[in-house]
Chains A and B, each alone.
Chain A
């Protein structure tokens, strides 16, 4: 009986380790040119940041974390690291690139076209993600 318990503990540890070990850095993501150059029509003001925070807390927080560090409660279960939004690499992107990736998704990152149907909300969440910049 004891050996079965030990076996189960080892099995859980191995499976858990396997999942964490497999998490890889995201590959390059080519954003269509029309989105890359798309301008954010929403003023980056307090109102839009607050609206964006509401959207972020509802849809993004669970993987990307409260401060956008990629450390949300669901992050460890993903195959790909969800990214650090506070870093220079992320913040160097245009608003259009961030909006495209956030809404259309790929692989682990789900598509949010139906869950965030409002264009205003889509740009507002970009404005909020800009506040993560260190």
Chain B
């Protein structure tokens, strides 16, 4: 109970601070950009380097008519030190994915994750794009992911039906590019699994705050924080706070070229697929349960 209250307070504080920061900066940036009328209504470019930032989706899309291949790799936890070379020799999780830009605003994609043999279908729709003059102050995208657990049906127990395999993740992503170097985004999400482990909730609302700062022309550092909202009133089981998912902190660096984006980072998440991460993460930030991960994205 105490923990849930703490989580809500923390979330409220975080949201309030971010909103205030956004409003102040928007007013400031509107004044600066007022002179450049020629480009006032043009969409801003490169709010983020690609559609993926560490563990989260961004408002960026693949180019219309082009493919984007993703290779995502998560090593084991670093906790064992040199014994398994900070997780390098531990069992790893891998995802291969392919996204296609149907139009400038619509993306469709398919991916395959090693853990739980997840087959994923995902889509993203860019609702709004921030303009140079901030007449539209934010970029907004909707993201959805449907995962199908393709393990043997024996793992689903008695009364198996196909729908037991399905997990859903939907997210509203709101991003703002402050200048050529700094971008931030806030992304509330909703996760639902048709069938979960004993005493694990079927639904989870979470909020993601992430940002990127360029440190050189082609290199940037980024962070990402995911807070699951473990709200008592929304509980399905009275004693399920034992199985509540943990928050995630990801931080790392990114290098972007014309055709490739590389990201190397530390994270608490090991599931790669967003719905697995949101509902099942047991790695605690406070306990130092971090792992090394990398994403490689190729555009063609």
Query: How far apart sit A57 and B45, CA to CA, in the bound complex (Å)?
Result: 15
Report yes or no: A54 in contact with B258, Cβ–Cβ below 8 A: no
Q: Contact check, A120 vs B132: say whether CB atoms are below 8 A apart.
A: yes
Asked whether any CB of chain B lies closer than 8 Å to the CB of A77, the reply is no
A119 close to B (CB within 8 Å):
yes
B217 to A118, Cβ gap below 8 A?
no
A51 within 8 A of B: yes
For B43, B46, B218, the residue with the greatest tally of chain A CB atoms inside 10 Å of its CB is B46
Minimal beta-carbon separation of A42 from chain B (angstroms): 8
| Structural contact, A119 and B258, CB atoms closer than 8 A | no
Residues in B237-283 with C-beta less than 8 Å from chain A: 256-258
Return B166 CB to nearest CB of chain A, in Å: 34
A115:B258 contact, CB within 8 angstroms:
yes
> B181: nearest residue on chain A (CB-CB)?
A54
Instruction: Write out, one digit per residue, whether chain A residues 56-78 have a CB within 8 A of any chain B CB (1) or not (0).
Output: 01110010000000000000000
- Total A residues in contact with B, Cβ cutoff 8 Å: 18
Chain B residues with CB under 8 Å of A53's CB are: 217
Contact B43 A118 (CB under 8 A): yes
Tell me the count of chain B residues lying within 8 A, CB to CB, of chain A: 20
Mark each residue of chain A from 100 to 134: 1 if its CB lies under 8 Å from any CB of chain B, else 0: 00000000000000111111110000000000000
Distance in Å: Cβ of A43 to nearest Cβ of chain B: 9
Most buried by A among B39, B63, B218, B258: B258
The chain B residue sitting closest to A112, CB to CB, is B258
Question: In the bound complex, how far is the Cα of B180 from the Cα of A53, in angstroms?
Answer: 11
Picked from B43, B66, B217, the residue with its CB within 8 Å of the CB of A54 is B217
Beta-carbon contacts under 8 Å, B64-96 to A: 64-66
Q: Is the CB of B42 within 8 A of A58?
A: no
Q: Considering the chains assembled together, what is the distance between the CA atoms of A59 and B46 in angstroms?
A: 13
* A22 CB within 8 Å of chain B: no
Chain A residue with minimal CB distance to B37? A41
Once the chains bind, are B180 and A119 in contact (CB under 8 Å)?
no
Interchain CB contact under 8 A, A119 and B63: no
Q: How far, in whole Å, are A53 and B181 apart by their CA atoms in the complex? A: 13
Tell me if B180 and A115 are in contact (CB < 8 A): no
Residues of chain B within 8 A of A54, CB atoms compared: 180, 214, 217-218
**CB of A56 to closest CB in B, whole Å:** 8
B152 beta carbon closer than 8 Å to chain A: no
Q: Are A117 and B43 in contact (CB under 8 A)?
A: yes
Give 19 pairs: A residue, B residue, CB < 8 Å, sorted on A: A41-B38, A42-B38, A50-B180, A51-B180, A53-B217, A57-B217, A57-B218, A58-B218, A59-B258, A114-B64, A114-B65, A116-B45, A117-B43, A118-B39, A118-B43, A118-B44, A118-B46, A119-B39, A121-B45
| B contact set with A: CB distance below 8 Å | 36, 38-39, 42-46, 63-66, 132, 180, 214, 217-218, 256-258
Q: Which are the 7 A-B pairs with shortest beta-carbon distances?
A: A118-B45, A57-B217, A114-B63, A41-B38, A59-B258, A120-B39, A54-B217
Chain A residues with CB under 8 Å of chain B are: 41-42, 50-51, 53-54, 57-59, 62, 114-121
